[in-house]
Amino acid sequence: MFTIVLLLYLQQQLEVTLESSSLRGAYATRAECEAAAVRLRGPLPTPRTYSAAWHDAVCLPIGRDVKVNELAPLDVQALFKGAPPAGECGAAGAWRRLAELCVPAARAAP
């Protein structure tokens, strides 16, 4: 069994920070996990005062008897404070990836 660990990196000036991480879903094989992770990797819409936001997804092996508790969705929306960055809607799938973070993995899994 495998699970996806979501990692959100934000850059402000020259400093890059890991904003948060969470587990997402359970997959029977590494191939299934990687296929789901591919869609979640990549840039996200960038909040004000940040010069970059990157979302990564890493597959980790877990025991077959391990239950994955879905954590609350990443609160990237709070960073936007109702003002999305201009000209980025739909760019490179960033908004799609953000929307997929807001649904449980069971519905988002391919």
Q: Give the model confidence (pLDDT) of 16-61 as tens digits.
A: 888 778 888 889 999 999 999 998 888 888 877 788 888 899 999 9
Question: CB count, 10 Å around CB of 42?
Answer: 15
Structural domains counted in the chain: 1
Structural domain includes residue 44? yes
Considering the chain, what percentage of its residues have pLDDT values greater than 90?
17
Residues 2, 59: contact at Cβ < 8 Å?
yes
Structural domain includes residue 8? yes
Predicted TM-score (pTM) of this structure:
0.63
For residue 19, the enclosing domain spans 2-62+87-103
3-state secondary structure of 48: coil
Structural domain includes residue 9? yes
Structural domain includes residue 32? yes
CA-closest candidate to residue 6, choices 29, 39, 31: 39
Alpha carbon distance 43, 53 (integer Å): 6
Structural domain includes residue 42? yes
Structural domain includes residue 67? no
92, exposed or middle or buried, with CB in 10 Å at 0-12, 13-18, 19+?
Answer: exposed
Structural domain includes residue 37? yes
CA-closest candidate to residue 68, choices 33, 17, 18: 33
CA-closest candidate to residue 50, choices 29, 78, 24, 31: 78
